């Protein structure tokens, strides 16, 4: 193990993720859910790696310094077969030849806001729809397969969704992509269960992330939570979602897989 990894383990020590190594894929800004997950995971004793790619990688490396312990930052484009194939090697480069991953977090989604969001469902071109489905849904399978050689019985894959059981205002093709993600998670849970690997999703309420700001009319969507979430909802607080993700990464849910856990103030359970 590297000196940096030993430092993480020594400084964090205890918690529900003590002794576990977690990869959080898709961390850009410190307002992202992925960043909140990485932060809480470190606070709970995990050794954390984070990833991004392209021009955003430079931002991620800078943002990584704001975590309790600066983690290794991997370049990983989940649509690039070469990046996916080299993931085990990249992890071992930082954590040693015997490295394992006890958890993988899929915090990745993209849909062209100019063609797929904000009331453009009927006009969405297939080229952009295909990209949204590949990045936001198919990549859960791609990432899980890439990480599989490093995972052990008891490992956990957790993705982030936005309730895809209904049609939302302005969300349009991203809603379809999230429906694909939720279905993909169930099939991944089926196929990886025999290896003792769990696959679950957390469905968060609307949060003021970089992705949310790109959705035209997002304010209309998030305003629904004002009166209908029985516990209330703070759209600037990513920590409740991060806590749920980390609970699913831990051994507190050893027999839970194929599940979607709602962290939305109870909104999903309410009628009109």
Find, among 207, 222, 221, the residue nearest to 118 by Cα: 221
pTM of the model as a whole: 0.93
Mean pLDDT of 159-164: 97
Is the backbone of residue 268 left (phi > 0), alpha (psi -120 to 50) or beta?
alpha
Distance CA 232, CA 209 (A): 18
- Of the candidate ranges 47-56, 68-77, 136-145, 203-212, the one whose mean pLDDT is the lowest: 203-212
- Tell me which CATH code domain 3-269 carries: 3.40.50.720
Location of structure tokens 């269960």: 193
Give the integer Cα–Cα distance in Å for 1 and 6.
Answer: 7
Q: How does residue 13 score in pLDDT terms, banded at 50, 70 and 90?
A: low
Phi, psi values for residue 168, rounded to 5°: -105, 155
Q: Which one-letter DSSP state was computed for residue 15?
A: S
Q: Where are the domains of the chain?
A: 3-269
How many other β-carbons are positioned within 10 Å of the β-carbon of residue 54?
9
Q: How far apart are CA 51 and CA 166, in angstroms?
A: 31
């Amino acid at each position: 193990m590297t000196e940096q990894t030993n430092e993480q383990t020594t400084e964090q020590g205890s918690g529900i993720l003590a002794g576990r190594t977690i990869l959080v894929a898709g961390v850009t800004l410190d307002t992202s859910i992925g960043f909140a997950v990485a932060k809480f995971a470190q606070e709970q004793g995990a050794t954390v790696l984070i990833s991004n790619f392209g021009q955003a990688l430079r931002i991620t490396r800078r943002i990584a310094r704001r975590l309790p312990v600066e983690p290794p930052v991997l370049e990983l484009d989940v649509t690039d077969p070469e990046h996916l194939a080299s993931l085990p090697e990249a992890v071992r480069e930082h954590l040693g030849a015997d490295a394992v991953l006890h958890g993988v977090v899929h915090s990745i989604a993209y849909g062209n806001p100019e063609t797929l969001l904000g009331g453009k469902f009927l006009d969405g071109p297939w080229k952009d729809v295909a990209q949204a489905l590949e990045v936001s849904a198919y990549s859960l399978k791609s990432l899980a397969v890439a990480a599989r050689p490093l995972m052990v019985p008891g490992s956990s894959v957790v993705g982030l969704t936005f309730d895809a059981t209904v049609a939302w205002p302005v969300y349009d093709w991203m809603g379809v992509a999230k429906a694909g993600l939720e279905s993909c998670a169930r099939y991944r849970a089926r196929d990886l269960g025999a290896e003792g690997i769990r696959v679950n999703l957390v469905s968060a309420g609307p949060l003021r992330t970089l992705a949310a700001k790109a959705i035209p009319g997002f304010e209309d969507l998030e305003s629904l939570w004002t009166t209908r979430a029985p516990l209330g909802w703070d759209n600037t607080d990513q920590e409740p979602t991060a806590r749920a993700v980390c609970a699913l990464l831990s051994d507190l849910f050893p027999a839970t897989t194929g599940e979607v856990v709602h962290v939305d103030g109870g909104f999903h359970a309410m009628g009109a």
